[in-house]
Structure formats: structure tokens, C-alpha cells
Chain A
Amino acid sequence: MPFIPHTEEEIQAMLSSIGTGSIDGLFDEIPPALRAGRLSNMPPALNEMAASRLMQERAEADGRYLNFIGAGAYEHHIPAAVWQIAGRGEFYSAYTPYQAEASQGTLQLLYEFQTMMASLTGMDLSNASLYDGASALAEAILMAVRAHKSARRVLVPGCVHPLWRQVVEALVKNQGIELVGVPYCTAGGDIVADALKQFEGQDFAALVIQQPNFFGVLEEVDELTDWAHAQGMLVIGAVNPVSLGLLKAPGQWGSKGADIAVGEGQPLGAPLSSGGPYFGFMCCKQALARQMAGRIVGRTVDLEGKPGFCLTLQAREQHIRRAKATSNICTNQGLMATAATIHLALLGQDGLARVASACHANARALVEQVTAVAGVERMFSEPFFHEAVITFDAPVADVLRALEAQGILGGLDLAPYYPELGNALLVCATETKTAADMTRFVENLARIVARQSSAPSCTRLKPTATSKW
């Protein structure tokens, strides 16, 4: 019996202690009509060897590609030590640290995590993780609405990750919160002052600023932050943690800094893994501490005065406040925060800065090389971090299919998300890409685009960059 240790003799001894003749007898309080027969759709059991063989075959069928897709999930080097330590049973198979004295390892590690994340984002404090970046943004919006009190509307620009916007919509709409879009500038690919004018003097709880934004473009965060604060809004910064090795922390944006910083923690030690598990992080100013969602670890002392760690501010949480909790979240992404902490410790401040600048340098090199190909151009003019939108006179889906046949995933086709952009491809290069990788991509792209655009297919019109919107 897989994972069940009982011998026949023990089963009989246990049943006789209970005073029942059979295991079936233990289910006698369940109405007979409800007792299920055999499961009909369950394959027979495999032992570990057979299950491993099956999984290996499936994994091999999926293969490995040279990947230039980013769009919210980024390929980075993960030091070997990260998962060798995070995979230790003492971290891997522990529960949420309710019994603090028997969980000092996890608790101290999370306190270190909070310290690192708060410093990285330039905020006063951090929680111990949320599910992912998208749901963290939803929690930040709920938090801003609770803190703001009068407004139930939030400005969410169109250059915030489109899948994140969908998640936010799904998670906050039932509470009567309205998400109002802000158009992005089709020339720069960012939010410009003109786009915000129409909202001046209105009651909004917050402005969301994603930096870098979904197009990889850098927003004028100082200007946007000061504008929102002047309008009585809170500022929610949605940031890529790796970019913070190079870019200004949300806490330093504008004259007062953002109020809440959230983001997708995946770039810190989580493998791409078809989308999860990743983790969301959430940091904020001191004034908002009691509005935070999720677990928070605090340092305290034991009865001998020795320092130790425990979960704190639990009066915000569902297991105490029930219907009045700041969020329903219970289990979060503890192990991913564990991996992120080890990852950041191994990189250190110098390492993170190097990773960020290597990403940026590679993305610049890639954009330079692809735009040297005839007919390929960068779509937006503003500076970018490690991804950019390119455009060419050929259907993006066809080009991507042709690249895939060469073992290359060439980026994300923006047509399903931004049909107004025409042939638009979001490409990313992190520190993992070598000069040879980029050459391979560019040579294939050049060949495929030349072939595709010479074919008499129905090429779509490119948007003109003359009008602002």
C-alpha cells in the first residue's frame, strides 16, 4: 500500500482497541446511500519507477527551446544551492509556522525576506508573500480602497500587464470596485501627462504604475507619483524585483515615494515551470501596516529575553477576524519566499545589480541587432529595461511558428492583447542569453521575415505614430 505503513497484525490490534470489526465499520455514520462504489475513471497505481518513466517521457516530449519570451515570467540563472536548500525536508515539509518555537528556521528566514524586500522596494515593511504578482496587485488595490475610504475607483493604465488586469478585475469586481483605464502613448509606449488630465479633480483611491511596464518601457515614475499624490490618490508601484538592482525603488519615486509596492517574485529563484508556483510580494509604508494582506513575521523576545520570531499582526487575518479580515488569504507561497531569500543572499547587492545590468545590456544588444534587419523596427521610443516591442511587415503568428520550428521561442505575439498595435512582438533577453543565442535568433528572424513579407499575404497596416493615442 503506497505510503501506508500498517501491517495486517497492527490493523487488527487497532480495530480491536476501537471495538470495531472492520475498517468499513468506521464509516457507519455516513448514510448508506452516499457511500461510493469503486472509482470509475482512475488509472491503476504505478510504482515510483513507472511513474518516473511516464513523467520523463512527458517532459522529454515538451523539449527545450531557446526562449525570448518574457511578459511577466523571466528566465534567470538560479544558483544550485537555492533549491538544494529550499528542497530540504525541514523547509519543504513544514506547515505555516503557527508553533513559533518549533518553526524558528522558517520564521527567521521570512524576517530576512521581509527585510530584503522592504529595502529593495524602498518601503518600510513587507509581508511574507502572496500568491503571485497579479493577485498581489489585486490585494494592493483592495488595500488602497480600504485606506482611502471615500473612493472605490482605481486608475489602472493600459500598459499594465493585460493578464494582471484580468486577474485584478476577477478578484475585485464583486466588491463594487471600478477599474478605470488610462491610455498609453502609442509613440512612447508609456503613460504621459496628457493622458491623465481628464482624471484631475476626480475621486480615485489609487494610481497603479507598473515599472517597467508591460511593453518593457520605463515610465516617468517621479512625475506620475507626484501627480497622483497631488490628486489625493495613493500610488501602487508594480515592479520587477530584478530590475530594482538597476532602477529607482518605488519608495523613492517622486517627492514622497509610492505608498504600496507589489510585484511578481518569480525572477528571484523560481523556475518558469509553465507558470507556477511563483510568489507575489507586497511592501508598504508604515502607515498602512495594519491594512496589509497576508502573513507578517515580527521579531520579539522569549521569556528569558532572548530574541525570536513569530507571526504577528494576526488580528488582520481570517482565522481571527473571519468576515472582517483584510483578505481571505491563508496559505501563501512560503517555499518560494524561502527560495527567493536564499537566492538574494547568494547574489548579494553587487550580484543583483550585475544581473539587472546584464539583462539590460543584452536586451539593448538584441534590439539593436533585430532592428538592423530590414523591415524590423522598435515600436516605442522611450527607454526600456529588458524587453521591448518590435514590429515588422509579416504576420507575427506565422513568424513565431517558423522560429519554433528552429527551436526558438521568439517572443509574445501582442495581437490577442493589443490588436490596435498590428504586427507587434514583445521580445525579452535576460542575462541568460549569450551573443551566440542572440545571433541565432536574429539570423533566423531576418530570414523568416524576408520570406514572409515577400509573400503576397495580407499584411496589416502598421499604426501611425503621429497621433498620440
Chain B
Amino acid sequence: MLIFELSRPGRKNPSQAPAAAAEANDIPAHLRRQDKPLLPEVSEMDAVRHYTRLSQKNFSIDTHFYPLGSCTMKYNPRGSHQMAMLPQFLARHPLAPESTGQGVLACFYELQEMLKDVTGMAGVSLTPMAGAQGEFAGVAMIRAYHASRNDAARTEMLVPDAAHGTNPASAVMCGFTAREIPTDRDGNVDLAALKAAVGPHTAGLMLTNPSTLGVFEKNIQAMQQIVHEAGGLLYYDGANLNAILGRVRPGDMGFDVIHVNLHKTFSTPHGGGGPGSGPVGVSERLLPFLPVPVVKLDAGRYRLVTEHDLPQTIGRLSAFMGNTGILLRAYAYARTLGGDGMRRVADFATLNANYLMAELQKAGFDIAFPQRRASHEFIVTLKGLKDKTGVSAMDVAKRLLDKGFHAPTTYFPMLVPECLLIEPTETESKQTLDAFVAALKEILEEAVATPELVKTAPHTMPVRRLDDVKAARELDLTWKA
């Protein structure tokens, strides 16, 4: 039932609207709305009940284990949420004078400082509104850097084939062409291919480390040298920062720019698809190009650095200062963890991933890179199972829903056939991981004994498997009365 189907003409909700105002007769009729928009006419209770019931059709971290690889679905502390929702924080207008925001600006300034510390970078801007916008900011700074040196030949951005799709898409949005670099058999970027690819046309390399294959790039120092010697800059995609938080700092690896997904590593909520937050950190040479505003501490007062102070900035990425409410949640989280807590994140995310990998291997699953240590995530390939039983990674993923677990990431990275990318995060207990292994073992047995049961899963969700081909062919994107 859609909210529109609950609607009854003339049903009103007067406590949520001001009294009817006078006719807007100063606005000419041709500028006024003549039709009524399709908004439901329901009571407050109808709406509350409808959306509460809808919420109950979702899996979420608060209700289910959610081992979605490269998404870092860890517990989102309720305390962070409550602290960010303090009434004074919520009421403050973004263009209110800095004098009325010293409290909130102090939080942002300290968050910048903490992010500098964990990334090993010289400066941080908090404004990018998600990981992809952080990537855009980073690549745009690389472009601005080369332009400031009149080095117009650098038109190509190198991207490993295991990278997230946002990497090549962000490079293109910044006016570069994206060139793929293959991966070697061990899961590392192919060094020979990288050497052959670099040259005076190389603007930089975008690297996720640990990579989306769930392993740390062993040759990271050599890669750094190859790219820098060719005159390119190094971009660190922080999607997997949870694996090394407090353990390894991208700045120490020689990277020039990094984005951090606060909605992953700093435990801010994913909200069913955002809001995220993707602050960028840079090395000394990229400081002049940081996106504005940045918070500065000047003689005991916090103020916003704008294009007037930073004339070479790549500019503004949002009308105001990005997803500020998310920054407050990340700040509260970081203060709750402290320095030792940061390091424990990487320790226990890595412990959980390696334990889960070991247990699944013992249970008979094929690990994509068994010779490697898992970072905070790892890949299981179900190619053997598919060849034997016809049951695919997608079928296993859907069957997991029936067993009360959200599915891991499926069919990404595309390099590994029939793959599940599994990231347990540090906030899950051994009991949960053991239960997950037991569920996957059961599915393995079902795939052999009753493959149809798995192929037609899920059986217990609000809907059975959905026809997404029909959805794309016969577009139905809005409800019509």
C-alpha cells in the first residue's frame, strides 16, 4: 500500500500547518500554481503508522549483521546522533556570523586536526559531501596543481582495474581520461604495467589501499616512486581506511591527497544511501588548492577560510560547508574513541576479517587470495559451486537474507568470478561471526541437496526475488492515480 492509496480527499492535518493566510493577491495569477500537487491527504497517525511499517521492511545495522564489503557497516553510536541533534546545533543558520558559531566551528576545527593526524596529511577540508565528491575534490586539486605549473600535458589519470567505479567517473568529471592498470595474480597492482603506463601525460594514480581485493598493496613504496618520478601525484581512496586506521598513515606512504569516508570509518550512518561525508587531506604542495571553506584558528577565534584567503582553491563544492551534521557525528565518535581507540578499530576489523576468512576456508569455501592476509575484508569465490550446482553468488546472497543476514557485496570487484566481498567490521562479536559461518555452511549444503531452494531465494522477505530487467525496460518511476 502506497501513502497515496491511503489518501482521502479533504482529510487534513491542521496541527502541522499554519492557519490559512490571506490571498497572495500581489503575486500575478500567471505566476501562481493552479493545480494541486499529488501529496497525500492523510492523518498524522496514518503517516506515522505507514512509515513506521515501511521501516520494518528494511535490514539495517541496528537489526542485522550487514557484512557489505567496502561499505564498513559498523555500529553507528546513538550517542553521536543525539549530540549532533542538540537544538542549538540544529537551529544555526549556515550564513549566521562566525561569532554565533564558535562552538560548532571548534568541533570542525578539531575534527580537521584529528583527520590530519590519522591520515598523516598537512591540511584537511571537510566540505566534500560524500566519497565520490571527495574523489572529485582530490582529482580537481591534482589538476589545479599541474595547471599552476603550466604542465598541460598531464591529461591521464591511472586507475587500477580493481578500483571502485567512482574513481574513473571522478577522473572524467575533472576532465581527465581514465586509464586502467591491471592487477597481478597476487592481488597487487601490476608493477610492470604501471611502469609502462606512466609518462609526461600522467596526471596521477588513484589507489585504494588496502585494495578492493581485500589485500594491502605490497609494492606501495615502489608504486609511489614510479608515479612521483614520472611527475604524477598520488591519490588515496580512503574507502578502506578502516583497515589501517591508526596503524598506517597514507601521508607516510607518500600520498599527496586522500579522501576519508566518514560514513564508513567514522561510523556516521548510511541512512539508506546517505548523507555521507568525504573530507579530503592533502600534502604540503596541494595546500593552496583545498576546497573552501576550511576552519582556521586565528588568535583564539575560529573563522572560515574562503576564496579570499586561498585564491588558488578549487572552489566550493556545496553551497555552505558540506554535510555539517555528519561532521558533528564523526567528531563525537572520534572523541569517544581517542587515539588508542582509533588504532583498535583497525586491529579488531582486521582480526574479525581474518577469523571469518579462516573459518569459512575451514568450512569449505574458496578464498580468492588464500595466500594473502585479509585486510578488513576478503573475497570468497563461488565459481566452483556454480559450476557444480548452478547456484550463483547472487543466489547465495539472497538465501542469506532468509537466514537473517544481510548479503555481502556481490559481483564486485569484477575481477573475481562469482564473488562475495565480505567485511565484518570491528563491532561484531565472535558469536555473530560464528552464526554467519553456520548459515553459509547450511546454504552450501542446500546448494547441493536442494539447489532450487537457493536459486529461488529469498522466501521469507516482504517480496520474492524482483524482476530488475522489467524495472529498467518498463519504467515505472512515479505513482499515477
Q: Do A and B bind each other?
A: yes
Q: Chain A residues near B164: list those with CB within 8 A.
A: 318-319, 330
Residues of B within 8 A of A20 (CB): 354
Cβ–Cβ contact A111 & B51, under 8 A: no
Given contacts A355-B17, A357-B21, contact A170 B315 (CB under 8 A): yes
A210 close to B (CB within 8 Å) = no
If A17-B358, A42-B117, A351-B16 touch, does A100 touch B468 (CB 8 Å cutoff)?
yes
Instruction: State the CA gap A118–B478 with chains docked (Å).
Output: 8
Asked if A36 lies at the interface with its beta carbon under 8 angstroms from chain B, I say yes
A415 at the interface (CB under 8 A from B): no
Q: How many residues of chain B are within 8 Å of chain A by beta carbon? A: 204
Q: Contact check: which of A46, A171, A271 meets B136 at CB < 8 Å?
A: A171
Chain A residue at minimum C-beta to C-beta distance from B161:
A322
Inter-chain contact A34/B220, CB cutoff 8 Å: yes
Q: A92-B76, A335-B275 are in contact. Are A101 and B335 (CB under 8 A)?
A: no
B387 interface residue, CB < 8 Å from A?
no
Nearest-neighbor residue (CB-CB) of A328 within chain B = B169
A11 close to chain B: CB less than 8 A: yes
With a 10 A CB-CB cut-off, give which of A55, A81, A109, A304 has the most chain B CB atoms.
Answer: A55
Q: Are A329 and B315 in contact (CB under 8 A)?
A: no
* Residue pair A23, B350 in contact (C-beta under 8 Å): yes
A residues in contact with B60, CB < 8 Å: 89-94
Contacts of B401 in A (CB 8 A): 99, 101-102
Contact present for B31 and A383 (CB under 8 Å): yes
Cβ 8 A contact of B272, one of A106, A132, A134, A246:
A106
Q: Kindly state whether residue A120 has any CB partner on chain B within 8 Å.
A: yes
A197 at the interface (CB under 8 A from B): no
Residue B299 lies at the interface, judged by CB distance under 8 Å to chain A: no
Q: Answer whether residue B42 sits at the interface, using C-beta atoms and an 8 A cutoff.
A: yes
* Contact in complex: A39, B339 (CB < 8 Å): yes
A94–chain B nearest beta-carbon distance, Å: 4
B51 near A302 with CB under 8 A, answer: no
Q: Tell me the smallest distance from the CB of A378 to a CB of chain B, in Å.
A: 12
Which residues of B have CB within 8 Å of A187?
none
Instruction: Give the interface centre of A102, A105, A273 by most chain B CB atoms within 10 Å.
Output: A102
Q: Do residues B336 and A48 form an inter-chain contact, with CB atoms below 8 A?
A: yes
> Which stretch from B127-135, B227-235, B442-450 is at the chain A interface?
B127-135
Q: Which of A47, A322, A332, A349 contacts B336 (CB 8 A)?
A: A47
Known: A64-B87, A345-B51. A277 touches B132 (CB 8 A): no
Q: Which residues on A sit within 8 Å (CB–CB) of B314?
A: 170
Check B470 for interface membership: any CB of A closer than 8 A: yes
CB proximity to B under 8 Å, residues A14-48: 14-15, 17-20, 23, 26-31, 33-36, 38-48
Contact pick for A300, options B52, B132, B467, CB 8 Å: B467
Instruction: Please count how many residues in chain A sit with their CB below 8 Å of the partner chain's CB atoms.
Output: 200
From the candidates A64, A89, A116, name the one contacting B61 in the complex (CB within 8 A): A89
With both chains docked as a complex, state the minimum distance between the C-beta of B331 and any C-beta of chain A, in angstroms: 8
Q: CA separation between A99 and B23, bound complex, in Å?
A: 48
Query: A451 at the A/B interface (Cβ < 8 Å)?
Result: no
Distance in Å: Cβ of A159 to nearest Cβ of chain B = 16
Taking the complex as formed, is A193 at the interface, i.e. its CB lies under 8 A from any CB of chain B?
A: no
Chain B positions 412-456 with a Cβ under 8 Å from a chain A Cβ: 412, 426-430, 456
On whether the beta carbons of A329 and B99 are closer than 8 Å, the reply is: no
Interface pair B456/A303, CB less than 8 Å apart: yes
Q: Does B204 contact A (CB under 8 A)?
A: no
Is the beta-carbon distance between B270 and A303 smaller than 8 angstroms? no
Cα–Cα distance between A98 and B54 once the two chains are bound (Å) = 17
Nearest chain B residue, comparing its CB with the CB of A60: B88
**B20 CB contacts on chain A under 8 angstroms:** 354, 357
Cβ B58 vs Cβ A275 within 8 A: no
Q: State A296–B174 Cα separation when bound (angstroms).
A: 24
Chain B: CB-nearest residue to A166:
B316
Bound Cα distance from A297 to B409, whole angstroms = 20
B100 within 8 A of A: yes
CA distance A88 to B60 in the complex (A): 10
Contact with B along A332-354 (1 / 0, CB 8 A): 11111010011011111111111
In the bound complex, what is the Cα–Cα distance between A36 and B471 (angstroms)?
A: 49
Stretch at the interface among A226-234, A309-317, A441-449: A309-317
Most buried by B among A15, A354, A400: A354
Which residues in B have their C-beta under 8 angstroms from that of A360? 21, 24, 27
Q: Is the CB of A13 within 8 A of B430?
A: yes
Q: How far is the CB of A225 from chain B (nearest CB, A)?
A: 12
**Nearest chain B CB to A256 CB, angstrom units:** 15
Alpha-carbon separation in the docked complex, A44 to B82 (Å): 21
CA–CA, A48 and B104, complex, Å: 18
Scoring A1, A247, A289 by chain B CB atoms within 10 A of each residue's CB, the highest score goes to A1
Q: Which of the listed residues A40, A77, A92, A383 has the most CB atoms from chain B within 10 Å of its own CB?
A: A92
B392 close to A (CB within 8 Å): no
Expressed in whole angstroms, the minimum distance between the Cβ of B459 and any Cβ of chain A is 10
8 Å CB contact of B39 from A41, A52, A328, A344: A344
Which residue of chain A is the closest to B96 with respect to CB atoms? Answer: A409
Instruction: Decide: A335 near B143, CB < 8 A? Known: A93-B76, A300-B466, A349-B41.
Output: no
- Cβ-based interface call for B247 (8 A): yes
For A46-85 the 0/1 string (1 means CB < 8 A from B) is: 1110011011111111111101010111010101010101
B364 within 8 A of A: no
* A101 touching B169 in the complex, CB below 8 Å, given contacts A14-B355, A96-B273, A112-B3: no
Docked complex Cα distance between A67 and B35 (Å): 32
Q: Is A115 within 8 A of B479, CB to CB?
A: yes
Q: Among A6, A47, A61, which residue has its beta carbon within 8 angstroms of that of B348?
A: A6
B477 close to A (CB within 8 Å): yes
* Per-position binary interface string of chain A over residues 249-260, scored 1 when its CB falls under 8 Å from any chain B CB and 0 otherwise: 100100000000
User: What is the bound-complex CA distance between A200 and B274, given in angstroms?
Assistant: 42
A108 is an interface residue with CB less than 8 A from chain B: yes
A387 within 8 A of B: no
Binds A, one of B62-70, B193-201, B279-287: B62-70
Contact status A33-B221, CB under 8 Å: yes
User: Is the CB–CB distance between B475 and A274 below 8 Å?
Assistant: no
> Chain A's nearest CB lies how many Å from the CB of B351?
6
If A10-B430, A95-B71 touch, whether A135 touches B318 (CB-CB below 8 Å) is yes
By the criterion CB–CB under 8 Å, are B477 and A103 in contact? no
Q: Distance (Å) between the CB of B214 and the closest chain A CB?
A: 11
Inter-chain CA distance A323–B116, complex, in Å, is 30
CA distance A341 to B47 in the complex (A): 10
At the interface, yes or no: B384 with Cβ under 8 Å from chain A?
no
Query: Which of A19, A62, A83, A95 is close to B270, meaning CB atoms less than 8 Å apart?
Result: A95
- Asked if A167 and B318 make an inter-chain contact with CB atoms under 8 angstroms apart, the answer reads yes
Q: Would you mind naming 15 contact pairs between A and B with Cβ atoms under 8 Å apart?
A: A29-B218, A34-B221, A43-B339, A65-B91, A169-B315, A247-B32, A252-B35, A302-B466, A313-B472, A330-B165, A338-B271, A346-B16, A348-B41, A351-B17, A409-B93
Pairs of residues from A and B, 9 with the lowest C-beta to C-beta distance, nearest first: A89-B62, A275-B320, A335-B271, A45-B338, A170-B315, A334-B273, A42-B339, A58-B103, A275-B94
Q: Given contacts A264-B319, A274-B89, A313-B475, could you give 12 more A-B pairs where the C-beta distance is less than 8 Å?
A: A3-B427, A71-B95, A89-B62, A96-B274, A101-B463, A131-B275, A170-B140, A174-B173, A272-B91, A274-B325, A304-B464, A330-B164
